[in-house]
Amino acid sequence: MNNAAKASNKQDDIAIQLIGMHKWYGEFHVLRDINLTVNRGERIVVCGPSGSGKSTMIRCINRLEEHQQGQIIVDGIELTNDVKKIDEIRREVGMVFQHFNLFPHLTVLENCTLAPIWVRKTPKKEAEATAMQFLERVKIPEQAHKYPGQLSGGQQQRVAIARSLCMNPRIMLFDEPTSALDPEMISEVLDTMISLAEDGMTMICVTHEMGFAKTVADRVIFMDGGEIIEQAPPQEFFENPQSERTQLFLSQIL
């Protein structure tokens, strides 16, 4: 294999790359020189104090927020103002939020088929069949014809995950998916995420569920004050954190 082919293969292994990325909200410098490479199939957990820029960072990856400096490359596509590229990237990247963001006036099944039908132009029957498969996958096929308001928080979040999966993403971003849930519902959502991870999905999860980080993450990233302070495999991260800020954070949450 020649060097060019090797280089492009290596590029193929990279799902997400942030290079010297900065973001401001007006005057406020919220992300500072973020450098992060996520390989295909890698599971990343991002933690850090409230306000440290975790949500902003992952929202920049599918352009829910705009960065001002540096590069963001997803699946080999650089994120710029080019609307076509933004669309291409959003095609690859699914996102699950803290507050589910389901449409309350649509049934579970309709929530799951809306984008495939209207954005992807998938025929309705096919979109419904796919949605049912993913509802099985998150273990709530029997809820398909209910409205979100009739479901528990844990069930709603699993619908949100199924809805994302219906768009066939190669990468999933989770922003504190369990932090709005009652404690008894956290594990059902984490179990769904674990099963995705086991299937090899590339994932970035902002979460303070450190048990999840320990069992699932390939790498844990700690952010503070808009910077990545430290990153390491979970065992190293939890047993031997290098930075004082990481140590302080862990002492507060563990």
Please report, as ranges, the residues that interact with ligand ADP according to CB under 6 A. 25, 28, 30, 48, 50-56
Q: Does 207 bind Mg ion (CB under 5 A)?
A: no
| CB closer to ligand ADP, 27 vs 199 | 27
Give the β-pairing of 43-47 and 219-224: parallel
Whether residue 116 contacts residue 105, with contact meaning beta carbons closer than 8 Å, is answered with no
- The residues pairing with 21 across neighbouring beta strands, listed in sequence order, are 34
Instruction: Encode burial over 145-173: b for 16+ CB neighbours within 10 A, e otherwise.
Output: eebbeebebbbbbbbbbbbbbbbebebbb
Q: Does 122 bind Mg ion (CB under 5 A)?
A: no
Q: Does 52 bind Mg ion (CB under 5 A)?
A: no
Whether residue 102 contacts residue 37, with contact meaning beta carbons closer than 8 Å, is answered with no
What 3-state DSSP class applies to 61? helix
| CB closer to ligand ADP, 101 vs 195 | 101
Least CB distance to ligand ADP at residue 93 (A): 17
Interface residue with Mg ion among 17, 52, 55, 156 (CB under 5 A) is 55
| CB closer to ligand ADP, 132 vs 250 | 250
CB contact set of 83 (below 8 Å; sequence gap of 6+):
none
| CB closer to Mg ion, 15 vs 57 | 57
* Nearest partner of 105 among 166, 137, 150, 171, judged by Cα: 150
Task: Please work out the total of residues on this chain that contact Mg ion, with binding judged by CB under 5 A.
Answer: 1
Least CB distance to ligand ADP at residue 224 (A): 9
Terminal Cα-to-Cα distance of the chain (whole angstroms): 48
Helix (H) or strand (E) segment spanning residue 32 = strand 28-39
Which residue bears the tokens 């927020």? 65
| CB closer to ligand ADP, 150 vs 179 | 179
Contacted entry of ligand ADP, Mg ion, none for residue 51, CB cut-off 5 to 8 Å set by kind: ligand ADP
Contacted entry of ligand ADP, Mg ion, none for residue 20, CB cut-off 5 to 8 Å set by kind: none
Least CB distance to ligand ADP at residue 21 (A): 13
Which residues sit at the interface with Mg ion, rule CB under 5 A? Answer: 55
